[in-house]
Amino acid sequence: MKYFAHHLQLFSSLRFAAMSGMEEKDEACEQRKSSLPTGLDLPTFEIENLAQQQQLHRELRNLRFINPGEAVAMSTEEAFYDKQGIRRSTRHRKAIVSADRIADYIPHHDEEGYFIRADGHPVKLCDCLRKSCPGCHYPCEKCGSRMCGPACQKNRDFTIESFLTEAEPPRIRKNPYYLM
């Protein structure tokens, strides 16, 4: 915007300077115009000051709108949504972090291996997903806990939602604290 304002100001100052001296130079310009070849179409008030005329022409050329064509055109559907299908207007909004909102909840384990519930409270939960289990896995190689199953629970950014038991009859055991 500053660029456009600067060019507009420069254009108006050049035009004012050229038009202010127009009355005085009108007679001299008429004499010179008659001596010029007929192929030049320069206005009479700009012949005296050729450098200003060239600068004015350059500024006007820079202010022209050049249509880029259909190569950069977006359809209305693409204008409102990005590649992931998320509305562009909400893309850069900051997420409201609150314990009340389940939509903001990301199930994970903290630095001590506790599972963080949706309300923010930590719970010690074995990877077999039974609330009362004291630990039924082999000791973890990293932390030594018997609560860790396939991966150490300390700072783990994922959780086990459910799994199929090998008992007869096979059942699906779900995470009691996972609300998704």
- The string of pLDDT tens digits covering residues 143-174 is 999 999 889 999 888 888 888 888 888 889 99
The mean pLDDT of 134-144, rounded to a whole number, is 92
Q: What is the pLDDT of residue 140?
A: 92
Calculate mean pLDDT across residues 135-150.
92
Residue for token pair 């008429």: 30
Strand order in the sheet with 108-109: 108-109, 115-116, 122-123
Q: What is the pLDDT of residues 5-58, one digit of tens each?
A: 555 565 566 555 555 555 555 565 565 555 555 544 545 554 567 788 888 888
Give the tens place of pLDDT for each residue, 80-130.
Answer: 555 555 554 444 444 433 434 445 667 788 899 999 888 888 999 999 999
Q: What is the pLDDT of residue 57?
A: 84
Residue 144 backbone phi and psi in degrees, to 5: 85, 0
CB 146 within 8 A of CB 136: yes
Residue bearing the bigger pLDDT, 178 or 144: 144
Residue tagged 């609560």 (tokens): 147
Cα gap 120→131, rounded to integer Å: 17
Per-residue confidence (pLDDT) for residue 38, from 0 to 100: 52
Determine if the pTM surpasses 0.85.
no
4: CB partners within 8 A, 6+ apart: 63
At residue 164, what are phi and psi to the nearest 5 degrees? -95, 125
Question: Residue ranges of the alpha helices (H) in the chain?
Answer: 2-20, 22-35, 50-63, 76-80
